Structure 1
Amino acid sequence: MSALVGPALFPFTLAALVMTGLVLVEALSVLIGQSASGLLDGAIGHDGLDSANAEGLSPAALLSWINLGRVPFLILVILGLAAFALAGLILQGLAAALLAPLPALVAVPLAAGATLPALRVTTRAVARFIPRDESYAVTADDLVGTTAEVTLGPLDQGLPGQVRARDRHGNVHFLRARAAADASPMATGTRVLLVDRVEAVFVAVPAPADL
């Protein structure tokens, strides 16, 4: 156990501990009805990156390369910390088996270099199971007027919940939403109509039966 907090492994142990804490935060937030990753994306205006406009070696190109916008930002951070910690522990284990653990100043850049391609692969796999908040084919305003299903509720006039909607192309979106001022609370599973959008939060009412 003491080896995990030694100088050679401490950066990777710390990354693993932070990753575990973020996983617990996300899990607890889902249990209480408010996804931390969804709230964070809404707070920072996380709309994703259009790969067509992310070229060369720019920061936007790197973020696009690791699939930011295809997975929630918090999930990307969790996966990055997990990849970094695992790469570091494996690297130091191999180094110790051959001769001795590498100095942290050497091991950290090597593990970080291995993290980027691993993060690209894992985020691409995870993105297949996580609907994007935004689609490159439509804007957020295009989703006003569509029906959706409450996935994290109930929706009321308090903190936003989450709904799942499909755009005209059939793409699935997870969106932050709250009930309109004159609407009753809408439980998880309720079909709703998105009638407006205030900044990053959609305004919903119960969907008419004929929609």
Structure 2
Amino acid sequence: MSALVAPALFPFSLAAAVMGGLVLVEALSLLAGQSASALLDGALGHDGIDAVEPPDGLSPAALLSWINLGRVPFLVLLILGLAFFALAGFVLQGLATALIAPLPAPAAVPLAALASLPALRLMSGAVARLIPRDESYAVTTDELVGATAEVTLGPLDQGLPGQVRVRDRHGNLHSLRARAAADAPPMATGTRVLLVDQVEAVYVAIPAPADL
């Protein structure tokens, strides 16, 4: 027991202890009829991240998406992260002790954290497929401003509204009434346009830039 609180192992012992405490809190909250993880997600405004591809860079948002934050309740993800971090630390220090000597904690902690990430991603992905989560595919009209669309009934000009078809962030298609912006040229059927504003129930469009 004293070895677990030695300086080389203390960060990992602490992570394991915190993990056990969080598991206990979640179990007790479920017995009380209300999941602590659900309450925490609601308090954080945790509404999910769709992308789960490996991050292109080292941005925190890309990393959080990569480990499935949003597809797994935050508290569950934290418990898994602490578990894998503690396990990686114990294994790392065990190997280092067998070879030479335990690594200093400042060196072992980042190594264990990096080693735990692939396992965290795999396990959180598996958990995400098992845990039922409410998902909303509704979008507000304001969310479609800034989207690109295709003219399906045109031409769009400054007169009577025509019609465009746009795909929202969930992949659903919407048919919208639209007209050209005041300084925009007429846009024929089939033209790709950018929705830049909404006036009452009619969207305002301009020709979509070539780089969109």
TM-score interval for Structure 1 and Structure 2 normalised by the shorter chain: 0.5 to 0.7
The answer to whether the 8 Å contact 2:94/2:102 transfers is yes
Gaps of 5+ in 2: 141-212
Cα pair distance change 1:54/1:131, threshold 3 Å: same
Aligned ranges for residues 169-188 of structure 1 at < 5 Å?
A: none
Q: CA deviation at 1:118?
A: 1.2
Structure number with higher relative contact order (C-alpha < 8 Å, ≥ 6 residues apart) = 1
The corresponding residue for 2:68 is 67
Counterpart for residue 171 of structure 2: none
Percent same amino acid among aligned pairs?
Answer: 74
CA-CA distance at 1:140 after TM superposition: 8.5
Are the aligned partners of 1:16 and 1:82 in contact in 2 as well (CA < 8 Å)? Answer: yes
Q: In structure 1, what is the equivalent of residue 25 of structure 2?
A: 25
Query: Contact 1:67/1:124 (CA < 8 Å) preserved in 2?
Result: yes
Q: Which residue of 2 aligns with 1:38?
A: 38
Q: CA deviation at 1:134?
A: 2.4
Quick check: 1:50 aligned with 2:33? no
Instruction: Indicate the SS of the match to 2:130.
Output: coil
Correspondence 1:1-211 to 2 at 5 A = 1-51=1-51, 56-57=56-57, 58-134=59-135, 138-139=137-138
Instruction: Tell me: CA distance 1:86–1:34, structure 2 relative to 1, closer, same or farther (3 Å).
Output: same
Structure 1 regions of 5+ residues with no counterpart? 142-211
Q: Check the 8 A contact 2:92/2:112 in 1, yes or no.
A: yes
Q: Deviations over 1:40-93 (max 9, x none)?
A: 111111101131899632322111100011110000000000000000000001
Structure 1 window deviating more from structure 2 (79-88 vs 49-58): it is 49-58
Q: Is the 8 A contact 1:47 1:133 kept in 2?
A: no
CA offset at residue 98 of structure 1?
Answer: 1.0
Task: Name the CA shift for 1:42/1:2 in 2 (closer, same or farther; >3 Å).
Answer: same
Render the CA deviation track for 1:114-161: whole Å, top value 9, x for unaligned.
1111110110111111012325xx1389xxxxxxxxxxxxxxxxxxxx
CA-atom RMSD, angstroms? 2.2
Count of residue correspondences: 140
Which structure would you say has the larger Rg? 2
Q: Aligned residue for 2:198?
A: none
TM-score normalized by structure 1?
Answer: 0.62
2:53 and 2:66 in contact (8 A); partners too? no
Going from structure 1 to structure 2, the CA distance change for 1:53 and 1:67 (only over 3 Å counts) comes to closer
User: Are the structure 2 counterparts of residues 119 and 52 from structure 1 closer, same or farther at C-alpha, using a change threshold of 3 Å?
Assistant: closer
User: So what's the TM-score if we normalise by structure 2?
Assistant: 0.62
Amino acid paired to 2:79: I
SS of residue matched to 1:100: coil
Q: For each residue in 1:10-36, what CA deviation from the matched residue of structure 2 results, as whole angstroms up to 9, or x when unmatched? A: 000000000000000000000000100
